[in-house]
Amino acid sequence: MKYILLMSGTKAGVNTYREWSKSDVEAHFAFLGRLNRELTESGELVANDGLGSPEAARVVRAGKDGMPITDGVFPESKEFLLGYWIVDVDTPERACEIAARLSAGPAPGGDQTSMPIEVRQIMSRRSSELA
Amino acid sequence: MRGVIQDGMEHLLRELVPQVLAVLTRRFRDFADAEDAVQEALIAAASQWPESGVPENPRGWLIRVASRRMIDRIRSEEARRERQDEAAAQAVLYTQAPEFDPDHGPELDDTLQLFFLCCHPALTPSSSIALTLRCVGGLTTVEIARAFLVPETTMAQRISRAKASIQAAGARFEPPTQAERRERLSAVLHILYLIFSEGYSASSGPQTQRVELAQEAIRLCRALHVVVPEDPEAAGLLALMLLTDARRFARTGADGEAIPLDEQDRSLWDRSQIQEGVRLLETALSKGAIGTYQLQAAVAALHDEAARAEETDWPQILALYELMMKLAGNPMVALNHAIASAMVHGPQRGLELLQALDSDPRMARHHRLDAVRAHLLEMAHHDAEAVRCYHLAASRTTSLPEQRYLLMRAARLGDQSGAR
């Protein structure tokens, strides 16, 4: 069963990364690299990407003429998707376990980020009714 | 465009994979390395044969090339050990293993033992599925990865971990004890069943590059049936697959939407496949060792044999589900039993039976329970309640075609009755 693990945060929260020291940033990226390698080696990683900075994000709606109306400025409090992991696992518990690992990424001062990770099952194209 | 010759060659290679792998495993006593060596030999064949033509004895060719790779591996391992000043005695023994006589191999047992290894209890189902498709089915890692919509590296890793787990569990390429055999064979049947249901997909989309898992499962189950012809459950599973797969062209609409059994165009059902399934099933049933696959196949046969949905022999289906409840009752069987009861004794009877499942933790939040309840409520003309249950089922299913079907069903009923 496939799950998508969504990591999101507030724009203000994202900006706190800028205060991190070089070694804190390095430790965090090393952690992410390690986890991705682990998930590849366990045969569970399907896809993983980080998303560009929220400052460059745009929200698009179609106008009456079908042309895009672009909205580029977000309120500070809004949650942004920062990155996602798609994993193919044997149980729902395993998906949550990986999400907890992601949430326990290192932060300055020996802390962990405790980022909230949303765990959502990806719908299959299979229909289960056999008989 | 791929030529007929190339397709024929691919088919031949896939047929030869389990045979060659078995020979190598027996000769070198190392399943994981043998498997790698066979893959290398296959790559060599795929690049050389189109130029040089298929050799006169393709199997012997593959065994020779794979053995050479294996010996190379052992020698380099040996060299590594020597560098570390360790003894390298064993490898010599392997390289002196007796030559294989291509006309004289216990092939049937080989295939069965490969099935047993790939479906070893130390493995998770997803690992067993991948390993079986590669080692017995002869599919490439790329093909398996595509079939399961995961990256090739992920699937390659899953396969190599599975091989490592087998090794760690101390599994050998030899028949299980008579006491274990029944259980191990059930595990194999279960894995084949899982491959089949994975392939029982209603997706449309770009399928051309993807291996059809349902067809693969049928091919593997045929191979198993050949090696254990006396086993009625293996025959029962093959019959179940054939009888279910016979409806494949009728169960999906033009846009990939699922079409329920009672609305399918039965002229699209594959008659010859149904006949084959029924014949297999009759022979299996005559052996007198009834099992759940045979019973499920019998239900599928009764559906397949009804010229119109209204002519379905529901009393007989109900009797089969009652037998299944006694033999191996589980909530899914109970659910199907409730449907059959409703078809024979009316929806009220079915709804009463469903109540027992509400308190079963395995079923209480399962979309199938809500979906069946919705259908029975619709049959009983409790439209508003039915719509509510369809929506509940739609929110709980993880299958897109099913969700779409359930939402359509709710919307249709809502339009008819204003129940929304």
Query: A-chain residues within 8 Å CB-CB of B296?
Result: 130-131
Nearest by CB: B200 against A1, A2, A126 = A126
| C-alpha distances in Å from residue B344, one per residue of B314, B315, B319 | 6, 6, 11
- Whether the pLDDT of residue B354 is over 70: the answer is yes
Domains of chain A by residue range: 2-121
**What DSSP string describes B314-383?**
HHHHHHHHHHHHHHH--HHHHHHHHHHHHHHH-HHHHHHHHHHHHT-TTTTT-HHHHHHHHHHHHHTT-H
The predicted structure's pLDDT at residue A77:
56
Give the strand pairing for A2-10 and A59-62: unpaired
Query: A-chain residues within 8 Å CB-CB of B125?
Result: 90
Find where tokens 């994979």 sit. B17
A 10 A CB-CB count for B345 gives: 15
> Model confidence over B257-283: pLDDT tens digits?
778 899 999 999 999 999 999 999 999
- Nearest-by-CA chain B residue for A44: B154
In 3-state terms, what secondary structure has residue B264? Answer: coil
The predicted structure's pLDDT at residue B3:
58
The predicted structure's pLDDT at residue B208:
44
Segment B193-209 mean pLDDT: 65
The predicted structure's pLDDT at residue B420:
54
A52-61, B280-289, B290-299, B378-387: least confident range: A52-61
Nearest by CB: B399 against A40, A46, A123 = A123
Cβ-Cβ pairs closer than 8 A, A with B, add up to 85
A 10 A CB-CB count for B420 gives: 13
In 3-state terms, what secondary structure has residue A83? Answer: strand
Query: Where residue B251 falls among pLDDT bands split at 50, 70, 90?
Result: confident
The predicted structure's pLDDT at residue B89:
46
Torsion of Cα atoms, B236 then B241 then B243 then B246, to 10°: -160
Query: B-chain residues within 8 Å CB-CB of A127?
Result: 200-202, 251, 258, 399, 401-402, 405
The predicted structure's pLDDT at residue A105:
92
The predicted structure's pLDDT at residue B100:
46
The predicted structure's pLDDT at residue B102:
45
Segment A60-71 mean pLDDT: 85
What single letter denotes the amino acid at residue B122?
Answer: A
The predicted structure's pLDDT at residue B413:
92
Segment B18-44 mean pLDDT: 91
> Model confidence over B130-174: pLDDT tens digits?
999 999 999 989 989 988 888 999 999 999 999 999 989 888 888
Query: Where residue B210 falls among pLDDT bands split at 50, 70, 90?
Result: low
Segment B61-85 mean pLDDT: 83
Query: Where residue B206 falls among pLDDT bands split at 50, 70, 90?
Result: very low
A126-130, B31-35, B115-119: least confident range: A126-130
Query: Where residue B176 falls among pLDDT bands split at 50, 70, 90?
Result: confident
The predicted structure's pLDDT at residue A129:
52
Q: What ipTM score was computed for the predicted complex, to two decimals?
A: 0.77
- Whether the pLDDT of residue B98 is over 70: the answer is no
CA distance A25 to chain B (A): 28
What single letter denotes the amino acid at residue B248?
Answer: R
The predicted structure's pLDDT at residue B417:
77
Query: Where residue A71 falls among pLDDT bands split at 50, 70, 90?
Result: confident
Query: Where residue A76 falls among pLDDT bands split at 50, 70, 90?
Result: low
Torsion of Cα atoms, B372 then B378 then B382 then B388, to 10°: 60
Q: Please, which residues have CB within 8 angstroms of residue B44's CB and are 6 or more apart in sequence?
A: B65
- Which A residues in the span 40-99 are in contact with B, Cβ-Cβ below 8 Å? 40-47, 88, 90
| Residue B342, token pair as written in the block | 């409703």
The predicted structure's pLDDT at residue A130:
43
The predicted structure's pLDDT at residue B415:
85
Residue B187: half-sphere exposure toward Cβ, Cα within 13 Å = 25
Domain A2-121 CATH (choose: 3.10.180.10, 3.30.70.1060, 3.40.50.970, 3.40.1190.20): 3.30.70.1060
Give the strand pairing for A79-88 and A2-10: antiparallel
Query: B-chain residues within 8 Å CB-CB of A47?
Result: 151
The predicted structure's pLDDT at residue B200:
67
> Residue-wise over A21-55: b if at least 16 C-beta within 10 A, else e?
eeebeebbeebbeebeeebbebbbbbebeeeeebe
A 10 A CB-CB count for B66 gives: 27
Segment B203-216 mean pLDDT: 64
Q: Please, which residues have CB within 8 angstroms of residue A77's CB and are 6 or more apart in sequence?
A: A10, A12
- Whether the pLDDT of residue B198 is over 90: the answer is no
Separation of alpha carbons B124 and B39, rounded Å: 23
Q: Are B168 and B123 in contact (CB under 8 A)?
A: no
Separation of alpha carbons A36 and B157, rounded Å: 13
Segment B88-94 mean pLDDT: 44
Is the model more confident about A48 or about B76? A48
